[in-house]
A = this chain, B = another copy of it.
Amino acid sequence: MAASFGVETPITNADKTFVQLRDDIVEGIIPSGSKLSETELSTKYQVSRAVIREAINRLATCHLVERKANVGARVVGLSAEGLVQLYQVREALEGMAARLAAKHMSDEEISSLKALLDSHFDTVKSGENYYQEAGDVDFHYRIVQGSKNAHLISVLIDGLYHLVRMYRVQFGMAGPRVSTAFDEHKHVVYAIANRDEELAEMLMRRHILYSKTNIEKKLNKDL
């Protein structure tokens, strides 16, 4: 798994507590919609309230919790509507990321990306779900990093991707569509390798759009 950007390696206690809380929220150990009591968490995680407060503030930055003045923080609620909105933003941002990646990625980065896709292909054949998921994550990470745009990188990697993971985990999406998604990835890389910015953006947007409709279908089936 590629490292997150903002906190490469946790240094302070607030860093560590932030990462721990974040993972617990994403994994659903701290249930979505639940209230985060500062005093409670400070005893639970064995740190002072100040540290918890700072961690919670950073969670708010990733849109994983919402704070209200003089009231407290709640873990964000998951909904079909929220998922749709999340994917709309992903479509816009990752589309642009693909466009910029086609412009700015070095030849070495591109061939490395191709290699990643090849290894991904082997796991697709052998049908290991876990690594398929990891492969997908890695693919999107690399494109975003390849954009060389600091805003894109921080908004997506430090922010939205954690929410995406949270939806994946808690709505239980390992899903099929792996082989189709793999083909889409291949086409995106092809466009990037050809330095075709326009096509790279369009293909990435479609790829995310298809994921969205696919997820929506699964959700409706569950309801």
Q: In the complex, what distance in Å separates the CA atom of A54 from the CA atom of B58?
A: 10
Within the complex, the shortest CB–CB distance from A81 to chain B, in Å, comes to 9
Q: In the complex, what distance in Å separates the CA atom of A12 from the CA atom of B61?
A: 18
User: Main SS of chain A's interface residues?
Assistant: helix
Q: Does B100 lie within 8 Å of A88, measured CB to CB?
A: yes
Within the complex, the shortest CB–CB distance from A216 to chain B, in Å, comes to 16
A95 at the interface (CB under 8 A from B): yes
Interface residues on A, range: 20 to 34
- Give the residues in chain B near A70, CB-CB below 8 Å: 11-12
Within the complex, the shortest CB–CB distance from A161 to chain B, in Å, comes to 13
Interface stretch, picked from A121-129, A147-155, A167-175, is: A147-155
Q: Does B96 lie within 8 Å of A89, measured CB to CB?
A: yes
In A55-114, which residues have CB < 8 Å from any B CB?
A: 57-58, 60-61, 63, 69-70, 82, 85-86, 88-89, 91-93, 95-96, 100
Q: Does A152 lie within 8 Å of B96, measured CB to CB?
A: no
Please pick, from B60, B82, B96, B151, the residue contacting A160 in the complex, using a CB distance under 8 A. B151
A60: nearest chain-B partner, CB-CB: B61
- Give the residues in chain B near A93, CB-CB below 8 Å: 89, 92-93
Q: Does A96 lie within 8 Å of B91, measured CB to CB?
A: yes
Within the complex, the shortest CB–CB distance from A158 to chain B, in Å, comes to 10
Q: Does A63 lie within 8 Å of B15, measured CB to CB?
A: no
Q: Does A89 lie within 8 Å of B152, measured CB to CB?
A: yes
A50 at the interface (CB under 8 A from B): yes
A159: nearest chain-B partner, CB-CB: B155
- Give the residues in chain B near A85, CB-CB below 8 Å: 149-152
A97: nearest chain-B partner, CB-CB: B92
- 1/0 per residue, CB under 8 A from B, across A132-167: the answer is 000000000000000001111011000010000000
